[in-house]
Structure 1
Amino acid sequence: MKEFIVKHQLALFFALTLTIGWFWWAQMVLNLWPQEYIIVPSSLGGFSPILTLVILQKLSAKEVDLDSIVETIRVGKSHALWLVISAFLLPIVFLLGNILTYVLGFENQLILLNQGPDELGWALLAIVPITFFPGLITSPLFEEPGWRGFALPKLQSMFGREIGSLLVGSFWWLWHQMSNISFGLYPSVLGYLSMLGQSFAIDSMFNLSRRNLLVAMFAHQSLFITFTYLYRSTNDLSIMVVVTLIWIFVALLRYRERKLGLPQSLVSHELKQE
């Protein structure tokens, strides 16, 4: 059993994560839960990446080592730069997208904030951090040990930087679809390209921070802040502008990775430490 788990750990991770997540979210699609309790299956589905790692760690006698993944959460002055970048980059991209779509005439008026948050004014300066930091122990902690901590380094080692990110990002998109459908959001090409770009950006920031899992968690939580507070147009032309901006920033991050020889240099460093 142990040998099978270790040999097929990546395939098992993806299969179990998808199965557990969709098991709970399918119940939401089928309206099996009262609306007031919908947080239960929604949260249990979102818990599937880290739960899968717990299962694999147990069955593999810690050959799949969740503990060592969590230990890559690092704080301190030397990590401050990438923590700040990861917290602000994606929200700034969406803000720039809103401004650019207005300038190009795709939107009739400049809207930066969602309805509701736009009435909070300067109080947002206090509310956003209060939302951001406690939220790190929800989806970012449930998901990022699996996506960036476990799967990404293995896939990039096997297939290279771009294909590794493509596989993680595509699965990340697929895994979310059952949850999205339950909330009335259906798959689309633009939706896929947007989410794939967001995933590529998180991958790059993770690698550029020397694989600090907290950076991936910050970037992940910044998307929650973006979707909660910032306006996102449903106009296809406006969405295309935002998606293009995301990929421009991805290209800049990837250029920096290539210049530093990442992620290959990270693998060499890890081997030397062993």
Structure 2
Amino acid sequence: MNRQNKSLITICSLILEMVLTVSLHAQQSAKDTIYVTKGAATFLHAADKILTVQSGNTSGKELQYQIIQDRDLLFTTTGLSRSTNLLVVTEKSSYYFIVQYKENVPLSLLKYELEGKTAGKESNSTVSPLLPECPEGHISANTDTVMMNRLINEIMHQRLKKLLAKTTMKGIQVSVRKVLLLNRYCYFSIEVRNRSHIPVELQPIRVYKSSYGINASCMPVLMDVGADVIATGETVRHMITVEASILDRRDKILFSISGNGISPLILKMAASKLPGYILAAR
């Protein structure tokens, strides 16, 4: 092979490497981006003790951080000239994401909960907004609750094989098995399996809508039917009823499950998994 052909191959290899790098950064920034802005601090909370924080911003002047009480990170900035990458290592997990500067960013986008992207395992997201407190939902007086309870009872006794979303933490597996829209109300069939070594007592399940995977707003739960105490090796089903919301295929529905030994477990379901007639409802 002559020198000219070798040079051509080298150039092609470099171009391919650049394309792959750009593609990788595009995928990462779409999933794992946090925002910083002038005049406000960005807050991140980790479930485990933070050991190391490394930033691509080597000068340390544009982006500054402070570790508070081992598990919290505060970021401040005077303005980033360009986005930078960040690595956070805790006792049990590693987190990789892009830090992006944004003017006039809502305060709700400056609070994040770091989620488990354990080394060697894949996670569909490493960072998500901290979820706000949800008010209790109330069923309107003119709602046919008899029909609602009958429908819930029928679904509770159905054998559901379809799996729309699933996640596991510390032996607790949570999955969405069915979604139904009827008369302005949306019904979710949630299965909770206890594979841990202790009984689990669940707190009320919370539901959120996340637009573009960033903003999270409450979907107040009107009814939560199902056993609260789950013995070891037992699987229970919960029927969650919320008021129907306008959903986009790019949205996500978040289910927050808390209890002893769960702190909390967040199940994410892409709205694209919903039946078409729900997404078409306006």
TM-score by length of 1: 0.23
Max Rg structure: 2
Higher share of residues assigned strand: 2
Higher share of residues assigned helix: 1
